Copies of this chain bind each other. A is one copy, B any other.
């Protein structure tokens, strides 16, 4: 493939420039939050009728079409589509910018993707993915196949919503084993992988039927299903189980090879054995490292096949313990030929979290709730509209020290202003000039305590400085909800 070129009008930054962009955006967001604005994100699309209401910009609107609806003849080389994952864009980004990137290139990317599918529970048409990949130049050491799933396990554990289990397998184990049992053609091996991938959906009987239809003998079908049934976290036990099975079917294969082309079959079995040995060493190594670093979070599961053809080594899926119905929330693997240009290859290993799927389940289960509805920790009361400047000044002094504060919308009765704060879970209300000597006072809405305070000195408890997140306690007022702090 030729090196891709930038697309006019679609700016895209190299990592240092993107860091600058994020830094600037972070500064804007910080000021907005110091003033008590909440952040939202809206979907990328609106009904065309709404977009045309304004008139002026109508000719600039991009219309979305599912590929199926578009006449093939209406498409040309310049036709653009929205990305449906972050892997295709990453491959293109690496090829396009290879000369300016440092390898191994370790990047993450958390962004929306779009798929014109029929929406279902946990399946969206616009959703967020979080991708983590390492891309090498020409070669990529195996140790990254150990490192990446462990980082993902750590990231998922840090979410604080429950336990996750990374299920791992290795393509070399499967492919070596299939060759050992006499499957030779790559397309036959691919077909077996795709059937094994359906095991959870259609069950062993259905898969057996499918494999038989692909031309596998009853012994081959049994061997493939036996391999897929192996699982466990203990490296030695998993490796021993596979070796035991391989020895049994190997003996059978040797007996069968006394047939028409014994030499070719023996050669193939030998190549299969070598591949199997390499795969088992990798799988065992991954489980060893996982046991040392992340205890029970990583488990071998030899039915994990990952349908996509481009995986060449370790493959991963991840289940949320107790929420298995959600399917895999984080999947990926090792790939060697995803991106290449002019003979230079860029092998990689990476995983992708389905963030929207995860978030929608977290919300549906009510696992997390913000401690308040605004970034503001303080509401500065206004005694009189004519005196709003005094309240503005107090708020400005609090913000100058990083304390998010908003000023009451109107100089209503203080009771109404307290209610405004309480409804939003804002823990503190500031009263300029309320103290006897003309100084300010601050009221903690949870304890009811009101004390003298100086806007240049006073600080809320650290836990109240930022919005906290935790499991909502039923029946407890928003302002007093127990919440665990982000670390």
Q: B-contacting residues of A (Cβ < 8 Å)?
A: 4, 7-33, 35-51, 53-54, 56-68, 70, 75, 77-86, 88-90, 92-93, 102, 104, 106-112, 114-119, 123-128, 130, 132, 141, 143, 147, 151, 154-155, 158-161, 289, 292-293, 307-308, 353, 355-356, 358-360, 362-363, 368-370, 373-374, 385, 388-389, 392-393, 396, 406-407, 409-410, 423-424, 467, 469, 486
Contacts and interface: CB of A to CB of B under 8 A. Distances in A.
8 contacts: A11-B43, A12-B41, A13-B40, A21-B359, A28-B110, A61-B82, A64-B79, A106-B374
B25 A128 contact: yes
A208 B168 CA distance: 74
Given A48-B79, A93-B42, A124 B10 contact: yes
Nearest to A369: B16
Shortest 8 CB-CB distances between A and B: which pairs?
A9-B125, A9-B119, A42-B89, A10-B43, A31-B155, A60-B115, A45-B80, A32-B108
Contact of A143 (B59, B358, B388, B486): B388
A88 to B, nearest CB: 6
B20 A39 contact: no
A290 B38 CA distance: 24
A369 B12 contact: no
Given A9-B117, A18-B38, 8 more contacts: A9-B119, A11-B43, A11-B127, A16-B373, A20-B359, A23-B370, A45-B83, A48-B75
Contact of A88 (B18, B50, B118, B469): B50
A80 B388 contact: no
B61 A84 contact: yes
A362 B24 contact: yes
Which of A10, A57, A143 gathers the greatest number of chain B CB atoms within 10 Å? A10
Contacts of A19: 38-39, 370, 467, 469
B61 A151 contact: no
Which of A18, A28, A67, A107 gathers the greatest number of chain B CB atoms within 10 Å? A28
Contacts of A58: 67
Given A48-B80, A63-B70, A159-B27, A106 B38 contact: yes
Contacts of A25: 110, 128, 130, 355
A385 B11 CA distance: 40
A68 B393 CA distance: 51
